[in-house]
Chains A and B, each alone.
Chain A
Amino acid sequence: MSKPKVFEKPVGVRDYLPHAVAKLRRIELSALDCMRRWGYEQIITPTLEYYDTVGAASTTSDRKLFKLLDHRGTTIVLRSEMTAPIARVVASLLRQAPLPLRLSYHANVFRAFDEGAGRDAEFFQTGAELVGDASAEADAEIIALAASSLQAAGVPSFSIAFGHVGFLNGLLEEKLPGRRDEQDLLKDCLLKRDFVGYRDRLRELALDGDDRRALEEVLDLRGGREVCDRALALGRSGEVRAAIRQLGEIWDVLGAYGVQHLVSVDLTMIGDFSYYTGMIFEGYASQLGFPVCSGGRYDNLLAQFGRPAPATGFALKTTRILEVVNGQAEEHQRVLILYASRSLAEALAEASRLREEGLTVVTASLRGQDDWEEAEKLAASGAEGPFEFRGRTFDRLILFGKREEEAP
């Protein structure tokens, strides 16, 4: 590649200008504050982690991890998500802390995508993890908290679909007992959202007609509570029943939270099977082609860090949410103080006073004829309401001193 031009950045990273930052901060703070109200405490972990620990435990595929070498030659990764780092903290620094633990975070995470894929290499996630509670109430709490956080973040309209990896695992084992390779093939199709491939594979497999129909019908299992009954008609194994029972319980608890109108059961929802162990979910906003949040239960992760514990959690795709949230008006009034040089002390004292009150105050001294003419014109036009001064917008103008007082 040729030497980069001075304005260029590596592919997939971006700058955020003041307007976007203001919006991003509002989303982040509202979401974190929402999580605080649910008892989730924020933690910060490092950007760099070891490849062999957090890198290996994370759900991100090896190819998509940013890797580098430290001065000793140890492989380091830029964190690709926050769940594995939090699992590491819970199993080490917070080892003595009694469970359940409720933790929240806001962080930049990194993914190496193929050039030209048009995806961000660095983006923000705001999320929560509930560690040490295996109940359906815990899963429902996480889904309800996700809904509440999306509302707090200002996402205008959204819906959440949730499923359970145990259902498909159980159903495949029931219909294709011991045929692990064939099960993996089918799961792989679903993971890639390739329904055509899934149906093709099913046709090729040695299966009895009813079993094949049952596995085909999986692709239609979505809707309300009734989906659970339809799913139960397809499989009888213990794992299938357990998964469906849990989904039903989660559904009922979500009713108690008053968010049932926002959720649906969706058994075509497929997560990474090596990572998720139970409920999984995604949130969708209208007018945005990508999910705004995702999460699920991962009961095996903590054991990899030496403290086995059930856990469930989610992450808001904060950078995506930025695209759907409307820019709200600046909350603080912006004051412009212009002053003659003799009135400097007076002007800056007033600025301090207004800043104490929480207003945004910008000061500028008036130096030449042109400055004074502009200032007097602004003052004459009322000095109230939004006006522009040197490319910035202000709500109020205060003028200190007079032109005549200036030394010629």
Chain B
Amino acid sequence: MSEMDWLTVVMPKGRIYGDAVRLFRRAGLPVPEEDDESRKLIVPIAEASLRFILAKPADVPTYVEYGVADVGVAGKDVLLEENRDVYELLDLGIARCRMCVIGLPGGKLPIYPRVATKYPNVASRYFREHGQQVEVIKLNGSVELAPLIGLADRIVDLVETGRTLRENGLVELETMFEITSRLIANRVSYRTKYAQIRSLCDRLAKAAETAAAGGAAG
């Protein structure tokens, strides 16, 4: 197979990377660990005809939509926020968490509440669908701080264990969506490189299943 026909896979840096690597390895794909990542941005794996690139999690759907990567691993949170035109092929079952509405316990909401979040599109859509008009404030981090110092009445954020919330005296008011990472594919690649994408998808599906079974047993 010529290098032109290789699949280019874009992986998210950071929190999800470790989980994704374990899953790919379980599927028999020797993706490098973060440690030996060594600043290389493009990692070829000749025996599997795959080429890995690393990107900021929020950019993964963009790489895939434009076809510079054929497939990628992206959190459902990012997919909901970025709204990119890509195929969502497989629930990888990794980086499991939930998107929640969070606030201080008790307390009445003002008529026009302020909601702080890293996910402004998801937040506005959610509240609109629930018939509530809110002012969305986009923050880039430390979102939990917003209700404590009076910047916002509510926050919308990912919750994994809920520890950070408890430590800050915040409570989960509503669970909006369950979030996991997904295998996504470019519209054209999914048709022109179908056999390869299908085979990658099947291998990862099997690995995700055994991981889920193992997780239940453990």
Contacts and interface: CB of A to CB of B under 8 A. Distances in A.
A391 to B, nearest CB: 33
Contact of B187 (A199, A285, A290): A290
Most buried by B among A114, A200, A266, A286: A286
B188 interface: yes
B153 interface: no
A194 B88 contact: yes
Interface residues of B, number: 21
B65 A159 contact: no
Nearest to B91: A196
A289 B72 CA distance: 14
A197 B83 CA distance: 14
Nearest to B183: A196
Interface in B48-96: 62, 65-68, 83, 85-91
A197 B88 contact: yes
Given A193-B85, A289-B65, A290-B67, A284 B90 contact: no
Contacts of A286: 192
Nearest to B194: A222
Contacts of A288: 67, 188
A375 B188 CA distance: 52
Most buried by B among A193, A264, A290: A193
Given A161-B191, A291-B187, A196 B65 contact: no
Contacts of B117: none
Contacts of A291: 187-188
A168 B187 CA distance: 20
B53 to A, nearest CB: 14
A159 B87 CA distance: 19
A289 B191 contact: no
B124 interface: no
A374 B88 CA distance: 62
A50 interface: no
Most buried by A among B66, B67, B89, B188: B188
B182 interface: yes
Contact of A159 (B68, B86, B192): B192
A305 interface: no
Interface residues of A, number: 23
A196 B89 contact: yes
B182 A196 contact: yes
B88 A193 contact: yes
Interface in A287-327: 288-291
A289 B192 contact: no
B141 to A, nearest CB: 20
A93 B128 CA distance: 44
Given A193-B88, A196-B91, A266 B68 contact: no
A372 interface: no
B119 to A, nearest CB: 15
Nearest to A193: B87
Given A222-B194, A266-B191, A289 B88 contact: no
B188 A289 contact: yes
A114 B187 CA distance: 20
Contacts of A192: 88
Given A196-B91, A222-B194, A284 B86 contact: no
Contact of A289 (B66, B83, B87, B91): B66
A193 B188 contact: no
B67 to A, nearest CB: 2
B187 A289 contact: yes
B87 A195 contact: yes
Contacts of A222: 191, 194
A266 B188 CA distance: 13
A199 B188 CA distance: 22
Contacts of B89: 195-196
B86 A193 contact: yes
B191 A159 contact: yes
Nearest to B84: A117
Contacts of B91: 196, 199-200
B49 to A, nearest CB: 16
A348 B54 CA distance: 61
Interface string B157-178: 0000000000000000000000
Interface in A167-211: 192-197, 199-200
Contact of B188 (A114, A118, A284): A284
B68 A289 contact: yes
A200 B177 CA distance: 13
B179 to A, nearest CB: 12
Nearest to A161: B191
Nearest to A285: B188
A222 B62 CA distance: 26
14 contacts: A118-B62, A193-B86, A196-B90, A284-B187, A284-B188, A285-B188, A286-B192, A289-B65, A289-B66, A289-B67, A289-B186, A289-B189, A290-B66, A290-B188
Given A195-B90, A289-B68, 7 more contacts: A118-B66, A194-B88, A195-B88, A196-B88, A196-B90, A197-B88, A289-B187
Interface of A: 114, 118, 159, 161, 192-197, 199-200, 222, 264, 266, 282, 284-286, 288-291
Interface of B: 62, 65-68, 83, 85-91, 182, 186-189, 191-192, 194
Closest 7 CB pairs of A and B: A289-B67, A193-B87, A284-B188, A194-B88, A196-B91, A196-B88, A289-B66
